[in-house]
Amino acid sequence: MKPSTPGLLGSLALACLFSAVAAGRPPENIELPDWNKTPVEDHDLGHGVHMLESFGGNIGVLAGENGVLLVDAEWPQLYGKVTAAVSRISPQPVRYVIDTHWHWDHTGGDGLFARAGAVLISSEQTRRYIVAEQKNDNPAGTPYARDPLAIPVITVADGMKLHLAGQTVEVIRVPPAHTDGDLVVRYIEADVIQTGDTFFHGFYPDIDQPHGGTIDGMIAWYDTLYEMCGPNTRIIPGHGPVASREDVREYQGMLREVRNRVAKAVAAGMTEDQLIASHPLDDLDAKWGGNLIKQPYLLAIVYEELKERQGRHN
Ligand SMILES: [Zn+2]
């Protein structure tokens, strides 16, 4: 029972629209919202930096006199509401869109922004994953349907800087965590860091192992992220509200605990079904299990990663 779909949040659209739920994967009954009733909320973080929060991945906005930078692009169904929110921040056009990673809830709006004149920027891996998905002959209007304009045109190998609106924006290529193509964006003067899905604030993570994600990479990354932060740094997570470095520390502790419990089960020879049936995370569920990612799904993806690694070492 190996994960065969992309990370959950990226594959939501596929699961919902095509009923293409991977065999054996624990069911996640996440339904798409009524888009008309889904708000896009604006959080002003100062220095022209905003976080837009809605159903999909959080968007970072940097608004200046020479145009607007977006980091992530939400579901395309929210394009109108996102552009309306951006226009309340700045009358300037969206000139650049950086994709933190390839999942649809972060890149779905790319094609629409590109049509309106934005330049798409991503890591090499993210671009490759989008290109590969587009080769699957997905019907028009569904995620990753063929659309040359929705393919990033600038790729970041080791990082880059943008100089916009009197601000310095550092784009950082981080080691494999949520995927192996994650970009993290640092708005230097505003003291804001946008993590993409390498960090969710307030609930269990998703890890896209079929695209290079790894739980140990996630856990290790939180040390780096913590070091990058000062006491007043605000973090725009992939999902959830604005966070601080203390939230990162707490999250790392939770994930380490999850990993340790699953590793013990693997070492003891438990099957994945036995592990899930034993409810080993019930005490953590109260704080972390109340959102998109539920205990059985997290256990399954961590178990399969650790089991596979054990197999390689034997
Ligand atoms: Zn993701």
Query: CA separation (Å) from 109 to 67, 70, 196?
Result: 18, 11, 15
297: number of Cβ within 10 Å: 18
Query: Does residue 263 belong to any structural domain of this protein?
Result: no
User: Is the pLDDT at 172 greater than 80, yes or no?
Assistant: yes
Output the CA 240–ligand 1 centroid distance in Å: 13
Task: For residues 312 and 90, give the distance between their C-alpha atoms in angstroms, rounded to a whole number.
Answer: 53
Interval between CA 8 and ligand 1 midpoint (Å): 7
Any domain includes 270:
no
173-179 mean pLDDT:
97
CA of 212 to the centre of ligand 1 (A): 12
Q: In what order do the strands lie in the sheet with 154-156?
A: 41-44, 49-53, 59-64, 67-71, 94-98, 119-123, 154-156
Does position 16 have pLDDT exceeding 60, yes or no? no
CA of 267 to the centre of ligand 1 (A): 29
pLDDT for residue 215 is more than 50: yes
pLDDT over threshold 60, residue 24:
no
Cβ atoms within 10 Å of 252's Cβ, excluding its own = 19
Expressed in angstroms and rounded, the spacing between residue 7 Cα and the centre of ligand 1 is 6
CA atoms of 231 and 180, how far apart (whole Å): 28
Residue 312 lies in a domain: no
**What's the 256 CA to ligand 1 centre distance in angstroms?**
20
- Collect residues with CB below 5 Å from ion ligand 1: 9, 103, 197
User: Does a structural domain hold residue 314?
Assistant: no
Per-residue pLDDT at 311: 82
In this prediction, residues 50-67 reach a mean pLDDT of 94
Q: Which of 156, 185, 153, 191 is nearest to 169 (CA)?
A: 185
* Entry pTM: 0.91
The reply to whether 306 falls in a domain is: no
Region 268-294: what's the mean pLDDT?
Answer: 95
| 190 domain residue, yes or no | yes
- Residue 52 within a domain: yes
Q: Is 159 inside a domain boundary?
A: yes
Q: How confident is the model at residue 290 (pLDDT cuts 50, 70, 90)?
A: confident
pLDDT above 50 for 15: no
Instruction: Supply the CATH number for residue 26's domain.
Output: 3.60.15.10
Number of domains making up the chain: 1
State the residue range of the domain holding 95. Answer: 8-252
Q: How far apart are the first and last CA of the chain?
A: 19
